[in-house]
Chains A and B, each alone.
Chain A
Amino acid sequence: MGAPAEAQTTETIGAEALFRAHAPFVAGFLVRLGVRPSDLDDLMQEVFVVAHRRGGFQPGPARPTTWLARIAIRVAMAHRRTRTRHWGELDEDAVSLAVGSEPSPHAQAEAAESLSIVQRALESLDVERRALFVLFEIEGESCDDIAAGLGIPVGTVYSRLHAARRDFQKAYAKLTGRVQASRQQPGVWR
């Protein structure tokens, strides 16, 4: 797994072009940061309007995705402060939203369960660690690219990522233990 190969751009990329190329990435990133489906469109707009205000993506050490991720993190954090009662809760809507069409109800249920556990585990991380985890483990960005995009030293990426992976795995183990326990209870799972 890894971020898709991308030709190094030498020109400024404007907000519309960024949207066309990277909107799926930003939408997925925001959802995994815990943004509710009902807020997704507004926050998508915020991210790309900010990108526009900054004059678009300027060629440099960062990739467009990680540069947008930095904006998305700050937009999501600002949003979080206004919607604290929603933040951190498992959002079943987000789970449903993020699950694509599956060939069968069984597969869909499996995917939903899988996603909800991953999402639940992500919920246990603070925003910074969560963002790093998502960028590295799910979006396949390199630590160097993450560091360049977020404007932090690569050593900081390593240390935060290490902590994020530890916390995620701990939360995941806890959650899967619960699921398996509930499966063993008669009448709970058939």
Chain B
Amino acid sequence: MNGEPTRLVDDSSVRDELRQRLSSEAATKPQYDFDQGLARLRATIANLPSGGSGPDSDASGTKLSVANYAVKGSVWKVAGIVGLAGTSVVVGVRAWSPATHVGRMDAGAAASPAAASPPTQGEEPDPALTGVPLAATTEQQAATTRPSQEAKPVARSPSTPAAADKLREEINNLAQIRAALAGDPATALALSDEGNRRFAGGVLQEEREASAIRSLAALGREADARRRAQRFLETYPKSPFAERVRLSARL
């Protein structure tokens, strides 16, 4: 466009020092574990009421959706833990009411794409945003706004305490695996095998298997690592862990 201003970094009238700093800033990438972030997002989306039916659904995503629809009331707590499972310390399990969150998620999901079209800046956040429950403080704020969109009866929620507990246990298992991976791959492998037995077809099977392959590689069991890695890549060709698995198994 003709009216486009010249960027400061390209403007010779701007001090070189500032241009260099802006250029350096543009080249700097934030440190963020994108694999973990993607895994957490997938688990979250899969557990949304409409999870797995969106445009992102791939084979594994659909599997996760079906497996976890019954525990959607605990999805956000789950997602928080999944996001932290790769760290050595599991923290941040947030206190919140599953019923409230289900209601808020319903409110957000109820907005059609047209209705959810974001308002211009300066307006109140739309339901799609305020309905995202992540921090207790956000919840407190949401509780005081837009009461008409707050929690609705959760008659269609199939949540059961048993299912929620099961999912929580599976996540704890993965967190233990990840913690053990740092220095005790034998324990990590044993925990993975135990997880596979206890949570057959579980939501975190992909993450668990990727960890098991890393454990095998760390233990020097290269043939086993390669065999399972090949099977992993066949099963989850689009996995965010694929590259890590290939590297671990030297494929």
Interface residues of A (CB under 8 A from B): 1, 12-17, 19-20, 23-24, 27-28, 31-32, 40-46, 48-50, 52-56, 58, 70-71, 73-75, 77-79, 81-83, 97-100, 111, 114-115, 117-118, 128, 136-140, 142-144, 150-152, 154, 158, 161-162, 165, 169, 172, 176
Interface residue? B25 (CB, 8 A)? yes
Segment from B113-121, B166-174, B176-184 that makes contact with A: B113-121
Q: Which of A143, A152, A169 contacts B121 (CB 8 A)?
A: A152
Task: Determine the residue in chain B with the shortest Cβ distance to A31.
Answer: B30
List residues of chain A with CB within 8 A of the CB of B28.
28, 98-100, 111, 115
* B41 close to A15 (CB less than 8 A): yes
Q: State in angstroms the CA–CA spacing of A54 and B36 once bound together.
A: 23
> How far, in whole Å, are A12 and B34 apart by their CA atoms in the complex?
22
Tally the A-B contacts, defined by beta carbons under 8 Å.
Answer: 194
Question: Using an 8 Å CB-CB cutoff, how does the interface string of B24-61 with A read, 1 for contact, 0 for none?
Answer: 11101111111011101110110010000011111001
22 sampled A-B residue pairs with Cβ under 8 A: A13-B55, A23-B34, A23-B37, A24-B32, A42-B80, A42-B135, A45-B79, A46-B132, A49-B132, A50-B128, A52-B54, A54-B113, A54-B116, A54-B128, A55-B55, A56-B55, A97-B31, A98-B28, A114-B25, A136-B7, A161-B5, A169-B18
Q: Is the CB of B37 within 8 A of A44?
A: yes
| Contact residue among A14, A100, A142, A172 (Cβ-Cβ distance under 8 Å from B4) | A142
The answer, among A52, A81, A118, for a CB contact under 8 Å with B25, is A118
Q: Is B12's beta carbon under 8 Å from chain A?
A: no
Contacts of B4 in A (CB 8 A): 142-144
Tell me which residues across on chain A come within 8 A of B18, comparing CB atoms.
Answer: 169, 172, 176
A29's nearest neighbour on chain B, judged by CB, is B30
Instruction: Say which residue of A24, A139, A151 sits within 8 Å of B34 (CB atoms).
Output: A24
Q: Are A56 and B56 in contact (CB under 8 A)?
A: yes
- A55–B113 CA distance with the chains assembled, in angstroms: 7
CB distance from A109 to the nearest CB of B (A): 13
Structural contact, B8 and A74, CB atoms closer than 8 A: no
Q: Name B67-124 residues within 8 Å CB distance of A.
A: 79-80, 83, 108-109, 111, 113, 116, 118, 120-122
Contact residues on B (Cβ < 8 Å of other chain), bracket = 35 or more
Interface residue from B30, B38, B55, B79 paired with A28 (Cβ < 8 Å): B30
- Known contacts: A16-B42, A137-B7, A161-B5. The answer to whether A78 contacts B26 by CB under 8 A is no
Give, as a whole number of angstroms, the nearest-CB distance from A62 to chain B. Answer: 11
Residues of B within 8 A of A162 (CB): 5
Docked complex Cα distance between A27 and B41 (Å):
14
Tell me, yes or no, whether B125 is within 8 Å of chain A by CB. Answer: yes
- With an 8 A cutoff between CB atoms, is B235 at the interface? no
Residues of A within 8 A of B25 (CB): 32, 114-115, 118, 138
Cβ-neighbour of B41 out of A19, A75, A142 (below 8 A): A19
